[in-house]
Amino acid sequence: MESPLRTDISSEIGKLGAVLLHSPGAEVENMTPRTVQRALYSDILNLSIAQQEYSQLYGVLSKVARIYEVRPLLSKVLDNPGNREELISRICRTEDAIPYYGKLLEMDSDSLSRVLIEGLPAEINSLTAYLKNEYYALYPLYNFYFTRDAAVTLGNGVIVCRMANKVRMRESVIMEAIYRNSGCFDCRITDANVCHAADSPVTMEGGDILIIKDNILLLGNGVRTSSQGIDFMLDQFIRNHKEGEYNVIVQQLPHSPESFIHLDMVFTMLDTDRCMVFEPLILHNSQYQTVMIRIEDGKVKSIRPEGNLLKALKRLGVDLKPVICGGEDEWDQEREQWHSGANAFCIAPGQILTYARNIHTLEELDRDGFRIIPAADIISGKAEIAGKCAITIAGSELPRGGGGARCMTMPLTREAVRW
């Protein structure tokens, strides 16, 4: 029997070893214009095109890393009767679906994993069910192809996030079950959902959590990650780091427009000395605070303001040259940030995945020495991944869900980086 994978993430940029993905399926199409807002989308996706685009992301990643997939792992969890009962019970209790417990329990593992992701239609067999006027007893997990958000790997530990929106809570429940019960992973698990009451203000999502180095953590504070959620993560971080000095940088984010939902929509790492930024917010806007928290030997020693994110990192010895999302024109900056132009994903230092549609951002990358390579050329073998490069995936449909390459990837292991 194969040994479980020991999770290990100590940076945003180390060479990728393993990654957790979920290919978009029927859940993406199980919505209407009436439910699109509840699904947290800005528009309805064309599934067949979205899947074609996603196959480029998957194809490139399969060349460089071991891929784990949510659906097969969930089926593996459900094969165990005890795990199956526990997971279904938890989902039915939290989503007011107790009448469906027996029906779910009787399904085979593959069918059940599909239903838990794609949604379970409601049975209109009572007046209460009729008046409720809901098509689904369990809503589809419309956002699950953004595997970044529901759980975060920090070193050998995993934080199962407490999502800001109820429609995404089952993603975290499934992730916790996969890490704990699939038998595929060796990691320390902290589940933020079991620590707090239903009305708790504690929320956090992986798009707001960036690991710069093993002693520098970067957190976004906005509509998806609350200050209380950051305090919870700080407490957990301190519990597991009783010795040494660590620094946590918190960047406040606007609550609108919706393209600012996570920090990784305005800032991502590209290399040891490069980052991608949405310039108006990260470099120029003093309305939203940057706060430095220093932790020493298991205690918070200081909390102080900083000029901006890059100045705070430079103070800690990480001197980054910014590549500007959208280039010099403010109009282009706003358009390309909206379509996840700042949401790059490193497969190794200086080697990133990004959308092909953001042409002004790609021009900035080209000027900075990144070779622009279409994903199709990597997949076909026409081109190789070498040197500084930006590998481009098609993105007419996927960005409509509100995320880019970093959002769609959950790293499990990376090699250490030589800074």
Query: 2 falls in which pLDDT band (50, 70, 90)?
Result: confident
What is the three-class DSSP state of 310?
Answer: helix
H-run or E-run covering 131: helix 127-132
Contact (CB, 8 A) for 286 and 280 = no
In this predicted model, what pLDDT tens digit does every residue of 259-301 receive, in sequence order?
A: 899 999 999 999 999 999 999 999 987 789 999 999 999 899 9
The total number of structural domains in the chain stands at 1
**Which residue segment(s) compose the domain that 152 sits in?**
5-414
Q: Is 272 inside any structural domain?
A: yes
* Confidence (pTM): 0.94
Query: 203 falls in which pLDDT band (50, 70, 90)?
Result: very high
Taking the C-alpha atoms of residue 10 and residue 217, their distance in angstroms, rounded to an integer, is 10
Is 60 exceeded by the pLDDT of residue 47? yes
In this predicted model, what pLDDT tens digit does every residue of 157-173 receive, in sequence order?
A: 999 999 999 889 999 99
Q: Is the peptide bond preceding residue 322 cis, with omega within 30 degrees of 0?
A: no
Taking the C-alpha atoms of residue 56 and residue 310, their distance in angstroms, rounded to an integer, is 32
pLDDT at 32: 62
Q: Which amino acid is at 94?
A: T
Reading the block at residue 160, the tokens are 């199962």
- Least confident range of 27-31, 108-112, 121-125, 345-349: 27-31
Query: 258 falls in which pLDDT band (50, 70, 90)?
Result: confident
How would DSSP label each residue in 326-382?
Answer: T-S-HHHHHHHHHTTTT--EEEETTEEEEETT-HHHHHHHHHTTPEEEEHHHHHHTS
Q: Is 90 inside any structural domain?
A: yes
pLDDT at 278: 97
The pLDDT > 70 percentage for the chain reads 97
Q: Is 419 inside any structural domain?
A: no
The pLDDT > 90 percentage for the chain reads 83
Tell me how far apart the terminal alpha carbons of the chain are, to the nearest angstrom: 37
Query: 40 falls in which pLDDT band (50, 70, 90)?
Result: low
Task: Please state the rounded mean pLDDT for residues 166-186.
Answer: 96
In this predicted model, what pLDDT tens digit does every residue of 323-339 receive, in sequence order?
A: 999 999 999 999 999 99
pLDDT at 373: 98
Task: Please state the rounded mean pLDDT for residues 340-355.
Answer: 98
Is 70 exceeded by the pLDDT of residue 33? no
Q: What is the CATH number of the domain that holds 24?
A: 3.75.10.10
Query: 16 falls in which pLDDT band (50, 70, 90)?
Result: very high
pLDDT at 383: 97
Taking the C-alpha atoms of residue 365 and residue 353, their distance in angstroms, rounded to an integer, is 12
Answer positive or negative: Cα dihedral of 353, 354, 355, 356: negative
Pairing of strands 157-160, 188-191: parallel
Taking the C-alpha atoms of residue 118 and residue 82, their distance in angstroms, rounded to an integer, is 23
Contact (CB, 8 A) for 321 and 274 = yes
Q: Which strands sit side by side in the sheet containing 157-160, from one edge to the other? A: 151-154, 157-160, 188-191
Number of C-alpha atoms within 13 angstroms, CB side, residue 107? 18
Answer positive or negative: Cα dihedral of 279, 280, 286, 292: negative
Contact (CB, 8 A) for 248 and 231 = no
Q: Which amino acid is at 352?
A: I
